Amino acid sequence: MPAEPPIDGEQREETGTLAESSGSVGEVAALDPVTDLEARQREAGVDALFPFGRPGRPLTRGHPFIFGFWGALGVLAAYMLVKAAGDAREVIILIVVALFLAVGLNPAVEALTRVGVSRRWGVLVVFLCLVGFFVGFGFAIVPPLTEQITAFVNNLTSGNGYIEQLQNNPKLQDWDHRYHLLQRAKDALQSKDLGKQAANGILGVGQVVISGVFSTFTVLILTLYFLGSLPSITSFMYRLAPRSRRARVALLGDEILARIGGYVGGNVLISIIAGVTAYIFLLIVDVPYAIALALLVAITDLIPLIGATIGAVLVTAIAFFSGFWIGIASLIYFLIYQQVENYVIQPRVMKKSVDVQPAVTVIAALIGGALLGMIGALLAIPTAAAVALIIREVVMPRQERL
């Protein structure tokens, strides 16, 4: 058997190193951290400060898990906020309307304070005038409306009423002979579902009336609170701005509030002019319930764009019951007055109060009406005035410096 070659010094050291390594591997294998407590404590770094081992490095903000978690949490929070705003949409609209009315009535309160009346008594006087207007409108509208409905029902059921007049009309007799209109109407009146449908309709009308009364009462109460605490509310909102810009924000905010108040005052002035002129005309042509119809014209004239047309159509339709030529005269009057209001009265009043171009006014009213209906149309014009002021005083000077 051949003899093994001699081992030099380097080979001897390498062999010893391999032997030591093999021994350490065997020792580690013998002390498994899963099953051996000593190996587990040694690998975890257990000492007096960390009896359960030293904690690992925390996850950084750029870690995919952290980024995804906070992103998902933000999306969930945004969804919940949008859903909550949608559920509370009606309440938010009432709050916005009340705040809008408070800002609009604030110039009247400040006018009273300038003549020596305390703000508390000024708020009370203005609020009582607002409530008195609503109460007076109700007393002016409800009695004649009830009387007209009662007279209409009596004419339907009387011997020589509307139904008998329709039956004796030659044209209607011809249509009834062709299409059996009266028989169909009789069958519909004798239908079993008529009572149920009528009850559902009455219930629906009652719910609408109760909801309207509750909303009006809520708006009035909120308006009173906002009107009384408007200075403190504006002061708190101004303090949310940085101190270096707070004075400029306060000046811009006061100007925006002044324009909203000017818009409300101007709109009320235009409505008063429309109501007074309509009352004079209705007295001249001797239309019944002239004061109630004039109030109706004034109220509907507060609605931008379509309000004056709505009031004119309603009053003209009622005027036709007093006579054909009276209805024609009413139609001609409202056509002429609307042109005067649109091209003479409204531009002069609104130019001084809100300083918004007519085209911007129309566009803002259309967008506001599409978003929030009549309330949106009312709020759109002062909102457009505020946006125009911010663009002119903040955005455009910044663009000039670039």
With a CB cutoff of 8 Å and minimum separation 6, the contacts of 42 are 33
Shared domain for 223 and 302, answered yes or no, is: no
pLDDT of residue 79: 92
Give yes or no for a contact between 102 and 230, defined as CB atoms under 8 angstroms apart: yes
Instruction: Evaluate if residue 365 carries a pLDDT over 50.
Output: yes
Instruction: Evaluate if residue 12 carries a pLDDT over 50.
Output: no
CA dist 328 and 171 (Å) reads: 24
Shared domain for 216 and 313, answered yes or no, is: no
- pTM, rounded to two decimals: 0.65
Assess if residue 377 is contained within a domain: yes
How do residues 261-275 score in pLDDT, each as one tens digit?
Answer: 888 888 888 888 998
Give yes or no for a contact between 259 and 252, defined as CB atoms under 8 angstroms apart: no
Shared domain for 270 and 318, answered yes or no, is: yes
Assess if residue 343 is contained within a domain: yes
Instruction: Evaluate if residue 1 carries a pLDDT over 70.
Output: no
CA dist 83 and 81 (Å) reads: 5
Shared domain for 330 and 307, answered yes or no, is: yes
The mean per-residue pLDDT over the stretch 301-323 comes to 84
Assess if residue 166 is contained within a domain: no
Shared domain for 303 and 355, answered yes or no, is: yes
How do residues 108-148 score in pLDDT, each as one tens digit?
Answer: 888 888 888 888 898 889 888 888 877 877 777 777 767 76
- Domain total of the chain: 2
The mean per-residue pLDDT over the stretch 204-228 comes to 82
Domain closes at, from 221, 240, 259: 240
Instruction: Evaluate if residue 201 carries a pLDDT over 60.
Output: yes
Assess if residue 266 is contained within a domain: yes
pLDDT of residue 9: 45
Q: Tell me which amino acid residue 145 is.
A: L
Assess if residue 65 is contained within a domain: no
Across the chain, mean pLDDT equals 77
Assess if residue 267 is contained within a domain: yes
pLDDT of residue 71: 87
- pLDDT level of residue 22 (50, 70, 90 thresholds): very low
Shared domain for 391 and 337, answered yes or no, is: yes
CA dist 274 and 400 (Å) reads: 44
Please say whether the dihedral angle defined by the alpha carbons of residues 118, 121, 125 and 128, taken in this order, is positive or negative. positive
Shared domain for 262 and 221, answered yes or no, is: no
CA dist 272 and 294 (Å) reads: 9
How do residues 23-60 score in pLDDT, each as one tens digit?
Answer: 444 444 456 766 777 777 777 777 767 777 777 777 67
Shared domain for 346 and 378, answered yes or no, is: yes
Please say whether the dihedral angle defined by the alpha carbons of residues 366, 370, 373 and 378, taken in this order, is positive or negative. negative
With a CB cutoff of 8 Å and minimum separation 6, the contacts of 347 are 358
- pLDDT level of residue 198 (50, 70, 90 thresholds): low
Q: Tell me which amino acid residue 295 is.
A: L
> Between the CA of residue 19 and those of 4, 31, 32, what are the distances in Å?
20, 19, 21
Q: Which residue has the higher pLDDT, 350 or 293?
A: 293
Shared domain for 387 and 265, answered yes or no, is: yes
Assess if residue 308 is contained within a domain: yes
The answer to which of 3-12, 262-271, 357-366 has the lowest mean pLDDT is: 3-12
pLDDT of residue 17: 44
Shared domain for 236 and 332, answered yes or no, is: no
The answer to which of 192-196, 206-210, 372-376, 395-399 has the lowest mean pLDDT is: 192-196
Shared domain for 217 and 230, answered yes or no, is: yes
CA angle 71, 77, 81 (to 5 degrees): 145
With a CB cutoff of 8 Å and minimum separation 6, the contacts of 2 are none
pLDDT of residue 386: 83
Give yes or no for a contact between 320 and 294, defined as CB atoms under 8 angstroms apart: no
pLDDT of residue 211: 80
pLDDT of residue 266: 83
Domain that holds residue 345: 245-402
Shared domain for 101 and 229, answered yes or no, is: yes
Assess if residue 301 is contained within a domain: yes
**Residues in the chain, how many?**
402
Domain closes at, from 194, 224, 240: 240
